[in-house]
């Protein structure tokens, strides 16, 4: 799969007033739109760092459609929708009629007929969310919760919110390292795009060549490749570790997990090469002892559980913003920024 061919035109993501409608990918969205998502997410966190509730989506129906496994993403979307007073339906796809031969189109049209306002979609095929937003149910707001190895835009935004809150620096001042299975990771792809859009000028991708995507050279001059992890993490402010996406790998990309840990696992010696206040991130699920040691995962520099909490705030923001146009037309709100 080629990175450059997967861009989704921004037009399908924005309504005629330039407001977010669908959230399928980071690519094509402006710095202003990404900053609006972050700023809106911050309004859902109070001064004691607690999530607040708001009735902004009262009467709206959010359907969670997860065609692939998930713990954090599905649950935090549900928590986010409930905090906004929306009705939430979790569709059990494994038990739905798609397993009886119904097409995806028919399943979605039926769900749309049940008065869905927002579909949160996770699918193993790259491009699934785009296809649904453009060709199947364009009147329902589609939020991509991960499609194949293509994009995971809400994960990228919760990562950006965590970086902004934990480092207290502007994106232009930061050196960020992303380590591991870049080739199969929709998180890495969306994180690189979000960091670039928000103005980060030093993005280091640390991986063996076997775990780099085709078309990597097209990422842009702010993205540098390091095969050697010690060189890559030197003086970094942020380290993002990633799981090896074994379910998306057909032939062995690595000699073994042990070998990977030796070459690319985050341990104390390597973390000591980064800045003393460097934060350590992981989108989960984590494979302790492979991409990260347990000591670091549970240590004081890890912000992995902050990422989970920030995920609720970001998903509240994206759900609310995707309905902003409709709510404004109905005269129900002036703007989501409360």
Q: Is 74 annotated as a binding residue?
A: no
Instruction: Look at the block and give the residue holding tokens 């993501």.
Output: 13
The mark string for 16-55 relative to ligand NCD (x by CB under 6 A, - otherwise) is: ----------------------------------------
Distance CA 250, CA 227 (A): 22
Q: Strand 223-226: give its sheet, edge to edge.
A: 223-226, 202-206, 175-179, 238-241, 279-281
Q: Is 19 annotated as a binding residue?
A: no
Q: Quick one: 69 or 227, whose CB is closer to ligand NCD?
A: 69
Q: Quick one: 6 or 14, whose CB is closer to ligand NCD?
A: 6
Using the rule CB under 6 A, give the single segment among 78-86, 104-112, 220-228, 283-291 that binds ligand NCD.
283-291
Q: Which two tokens stand for residue 24?
A: 């399928």
Distance CA 96, CA 229 (A): 45
The mark string for 205-244 relative to ligand NCD (x by CB under 6 A, - otherwise) is: --------------------------------------x-
Using the rule CB under 6 A, give the single segment among 33-41, 131-139, 208-216, 277-285 that binds ligand NCD.
277-285
Distance CA 238, CA 244 (A): 19
* Minimum CB distance to ligand NCD, residue 138 (Å): 25
Candidate residues 15, 72, 126, 202; the one interacting with ligand NCD per rule CB under 6 A: 72
Q: Is 243 annotated as a binding residue?
A: yes
Q: Quick one: 182 or 296, whose CB is closer to ligand NCD?
A: 182
Q: Which residues of 19-34 are buried (b: 16+ CB within 10 A; e: fewer)?
A: bbbbbbbbbbbeeebb
Helices within 265-323 (DSSP H only): 268-271, 294-297, 304-322
Distance CA 288, CA 265 (A): 10
Q: Quick one: 248 or 275, whose CB is closer to ligand NCD?
A: 248
Candidate residues 85, 284, 326, 328; the one interacting with ligand NCD per rule CB under 6 A: 284
DSSP class of 238: E
Parallel, antiparallel, or unpaired for β 118-123 and 238-241?
Answer: unpaired
Binding site for carbamoyl phosphate: which residues?
Answer: 72-73, 122, 152, 155, 284-285
Interface residues with ligand NCD (CB under 6 A) are: 72-73, 146, 152, 155, 186-187, 243, 245, 283-285
């Amino acid at each position: 799969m080629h990175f450059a061919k997967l861009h989704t035109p921004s037009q399908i993501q924005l309504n005629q007033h330039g407001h977010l409608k669908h959230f399928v990918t980071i690519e094509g969205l402006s710095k202003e739109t990404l900053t609006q998502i972050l700023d809106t997410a911050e309004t859902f966190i109070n001064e004691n760092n607690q999530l607040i509730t708001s009735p902004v989506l009262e009467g709206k129906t959010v359907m969670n459609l997860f065609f692939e496994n998930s713990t954090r993403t599905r649950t935090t979307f549900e928590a986010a929708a409930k905090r906004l007073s929306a009705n939430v339906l979790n569709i059990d796809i494994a038990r739905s009629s798609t397993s009886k031969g119904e097409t995806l189109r028919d399943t979605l049209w039926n769900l749309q007929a049940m008065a869905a306002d927002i579909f949160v979609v996770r699918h193993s095929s790259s491009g699934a969310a785009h296809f649904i937003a453009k060709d199947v149910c364009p009147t329902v707001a589609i939020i991509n919760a991960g499609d194949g190895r293509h994009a995971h835009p809400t994960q990228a935004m919760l990562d950006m919110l965590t970086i902004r809150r934990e480092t207290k620096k502007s994106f232009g001042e930061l050196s960020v390292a992303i380590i591991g299975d870049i080739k199969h990771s929709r998180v890495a792809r969306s994180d690189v795009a979000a960091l670039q859009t928000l103005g980060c000028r030093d993005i280091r991708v640390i991986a063996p060549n076997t775990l780099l995507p085709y078309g990597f050279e097209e990422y842009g001059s702010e993205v540098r490749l390091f095969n050697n992890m010690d060189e890559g993490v030197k003086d970094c402010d942020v380290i993002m570790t990633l799981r090896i996406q074994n379910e998306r790998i057909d032939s062995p990309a690595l000699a073994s997990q042990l070998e990977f840990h030796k070459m690319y696992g985050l341990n104390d010696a390597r973390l000591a090469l980064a800045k003393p206040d460097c934060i350590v991130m992981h989108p989960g699920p984590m494979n302790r002892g492979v991409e990260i040691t347990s000591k670091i995962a549970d240590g004081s520099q890890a912000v992995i559980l902050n990422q989970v909490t920030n995920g609720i705030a970001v998903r509240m923001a994206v759900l609310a913003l995707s309905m902003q146009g409709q709510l404004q037309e109905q005269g129900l709100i002036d703007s989501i920024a409360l």
